[in-house]
Amino acid sequence: MKMYKHLRTIGWNTAALILCGGLYAQTDFRRTVDFREETSPTITFQELQHVVPRRAREEMEKAYRAKLKHNPADEIDHLRKAVLIDPEYIAARNNLGVCLLAIEPASAIVQLEEGIRINPHKGALFNNLAVGYTLIHDLWAAELAARKSIELDRTANSSRALLGAILYDQQRYSAETLALLERGCKEYPVSHIYAASVLMKRQEFQKARVHIQAYLSSGETEHRWNASEMLDIIDHADETRDSSPDHVQDTHAGLTR
């Protein structure tokens, strides 16, 4: 049906958008007053040991101010300078990768992979790398990166939500996919849409309805059209279930993307 075709269209991008808030949290650009250099609450040994030159820190601060002024070009320019001054400045390299995800995902991947080469224990880098691979449609590599991020940071619901979206785009509507998405629903309401879609694929329509209603109650509006379409399909399935069980099966078969 049309709704599922639309979900597939947004799927590649939503795997990144689903974590937009998480990405900025990891780069300390979300709801903060004082500039901080950390890329996540978990600081690795490399970050503790590494001394960032003053000039690199100054460029990072300028990038932060450009972010607050909604000037992405200047932000990227200052981050590039920070990385050029100090190639091992993981926070700057990670932030640069995040900024590039929306415009140059291949370039973002280069930055994030170099960050991982320098610091292979930073879960945020793998999380963001998974987003990059998702955007270039390399879902196998994205899955591996997301799983590594979870391994390194067991508290990262952002990585779980992302992995669930990646598995969904691989058409793996398993219990694992559903559990990952449900884990991220509170922080990332769009996960409700993915979880509901998984449940509809499994013909668990009433459980899907709960997720759709939860999304509609979340205050987010970007995918309300999808949610409304999904409720219409569930209502139609309810109407036809008793009168024609075979028709319910046919209706669900039409939901393939």
Average pLDDT over residues 44-67: 91
Q: What is the residue type of 100?
A: L
Q: Which run of H or of E encompasses 86?
A: none
**Can you give the residue ranges of every domain in the chain?**
13-173, 189-257
Count, residues in the chain:
257
Of 11, 60, 27, nearest in space to 170 by CA: 11
Is pLDDT above 80 for 74? yes
Rounded to the nearest angstrom, the gap between the alpha carbon of residue 14 and the centroid of all alpha carbons in its chain is 7
Is pLDDT above 80 for 87? yes
Task: Name the more confident of 138 and 42.
Answer: 138
Give CA–CA dist 51/127, Å, rounded: 24
Q: Burial, 217: exposed, middle or buried (Cβ in 10 Å; 0-12, 13-18, 19+)?
A: exposed
Give CA–CA dist 174/157, Å, rounded: 18
Give CA–CA dist 94/114, Å, rounded: 10
Q: What is the pLDDT of residues 105-130, one digit of tens each?
A: 999 999 999 999 999 999 999 999 99
Which tokens in the block code for residue 27? 């780069």
Is pLDDT above 60 for 20? no
Q: Looking at residue 33, what is its pLDDT? A: 28
Q: What is the pLDDT of residues 8-17, one digit of tens each?
A: 434 545 555 5
Q: Which run of H or of E encompasses 18?
A: none
Q: Looking at residue 44, what is its pLDDT? A: 81
The answer to whether the CB of 158 falls within 8 A of the CB of 19 is: yes
Q: Looking at residue 244, what is its pLDDT? A: 57
Is pLDDT above 70 for 184? yes
Computed over every residue of the chain, the mean pLDDT equals 81
Q: Looking at residue 214, what is its pLDDT? A: 96
Average pLDDT over residues 93-115: 94
Give CA–CA dist 236/25, Å, rounded: 41
13-173 maps to which CATH number?
1.25.40.10
The answer to whether the CB of 227 falls within 8 A of the CB of 194 is: no
Q: Looking at residue 58, what is its pLDDT? A: 96
Q: Please give the model's pTM, rounded to 2 decimal places.
A: 0.81
The answer to whether the CB of 108 falls within 8 A of the CB of 132 is: yes
